[in-house]
Amino acid sequence: MPNIKSAKKRVLVNSTKNLQNRMIKSSLRTAIKKFNLASAQNDKAKASAEMGAAIKAIDKAAAKGVIHKNNAAHKKSAIALKYNAMA
């Protein structure tokens, strides 16, 4: 455990940020799973709605720095390919 006051604060802030980042990553994974489930069922209308939610979650995670912007682009591209292959 740190002795310096600023180091103690960093431990607290880092643990709080870690929880926030885990929450964002968890919601991101959930949104992607919902889209994958809808696309597996070939439900174009539901997949379209879930695609919008997944892309929004990906963009939010990239904007907050939880995932890298290239990782976000890769995930969005994969979702678009899967959606377009449904037709």
pLDDT value of position 45: 94
**Separation of first and last alpha carbons in the chain:** 57
In sequence order, which residues have a C-beta less than 8 Å from that of residue 34 and are 6 or more positions away? 50, 53, 54
Domains of the chain with CATH codes? 5-85 (1.20.58.110)
Residue-wise pLDDT tens digits, 1-20: 899 999 999 999 999 999 99
User: pLDDT for 15-68, tens place per residue?
Assistant: 999 999 999 999 999 999 999 999 999 999 999 999 999 999 999 999 999 999
